[in-house]
Amino acid sequence: MFLTHQSFRTENYGQVGVSSLCQEPPGFPEDRTATTDLVAFGNSAVPSIEEAFDSLRERGELSPFKVNAFWLLYAYARIKGPGAFPELRTMLLNTKTRFLGESLDGSISLALGLTSYLSTARLPVNFLRCTGEEPRDNLDRLILAWERGDETGVEAALGPEAKASLAAVLRNKSWRILRSELGPKDGDDTAAMGYRFDSTAQWADPDDPLLEETANNFRPQMGEFVIQTRFKNGLGRDCGKFQVRFLGSGFVASPEYFVDNPDIADLLRGVADCATQQ
């Protein structure tokens, strides 16, 4: 009740998702502390959280649990681990709770221990990581753009070799034909997939708003490198392993990592195959 502003709290910030702003909004530290306390209750907190989820599924954005609902999602993922997935997936497919798409994706990745989980349920977002970009960021952009059929978004996530590879493919066929051959069906609002980088580094772990964001001094090197990446379908099951090539560029203190596979069509095919498996 404290988290969703139904108690004695008078302030109402209207939060419904994790903010990507570099300055934490008012009340954020208190909410994070309260969520940590909620997680500490363990399984005894689950029935109350699931009651809130029932309200959100039935009433959507009219639910009294709308404000700060994302904290309940992450608390549930923390408490139940992989056991949280069926409930979170059900909410992801419910039209009344799709407004929580980004937070549902994030809580699913936390529950399953994935680097990222991405679905067409989330609204288009501009990724902003205050402590500097990580390899996941442009791979996330690429997957979301390909799931939606956004040509400009796909190109923006690519390095020079991958862009040249895509341009070579598009010299012989249109974007529409390429999508029909490789991509998820346009308008498919159930497409979803996740992935896990095969690394023990911090930048391979799920984003967790319950942890304070700190500068990551152990990012991959600049220049070209490859990360073995395990793809998961929308149900969290293995659907392939890929070598994703990245190009780190920009300033060493704040690099950006572009996806730069020389055969980008093969990677896009893998994304489509996983994203459409239900």
Query: pLDDT tens across 90-124, in order?
Result: 999 999 998 899 999 999 999 999 999 999 877 66
173 plus 246 within the same structural domain: yes
Q: Identify whether residues 93 and 42 lie together within a single domain.
A: yes
Same domain (yes/no): 36, 142 = no
> Does residue 29 surpass a pLDDT of 70?
yes
Whether 13 shows a pLDDT value over 60: the answer reads: no
Q: Which residue has the tokens 């704040």?
A: 254
What percent of the chain is modeled with pLDDT above 90? Answer: 62
**pLDDT of residue 163 exceeding 90:** yes
The answer to whether the Cα torsion of 196, 144, 120, 136 is positive or negative is positive
Total-model pTM: 0.89
Q: Which residue has the higher pLDDT, 22 or 222?
A: 222
Q: What percent of the chain has pLDDT over 70?
A: 85
Kindly state whether residues 166 and 70 are assigned to the same domain.
no
Same domain, residue pair 99 and 139: no
Note whether 94 and 186 are same-domain residues: no
Report pLDDT for 263.
95
Burial letters for 140-152: b for 16+ Cβ neighbours within 10 Å, e otherwise? bbbbbbbbbbebe
- Give me the mean pLDDT over the 138-146 stretch: 93
Environment class of residue 139 by beta-carbon count within 10 Å: exposed (0-12), middle (13-18) or buried (19+)? buried
For the CA atoms of 82, 140, 204, 36, the dihedral, rounded to the nearest 10 degrees, stands at: -50
> Into how many domains does the chain fold?
2
The domain of 192 spans 135-275
Residue 201 lies inside a defined structural domain of this protein: yes
Least reliable range by pLDDT among 35-44, 116-125, 136-145 = 116-125
Q: What is the mean pLDDT of the chain?
A: 87
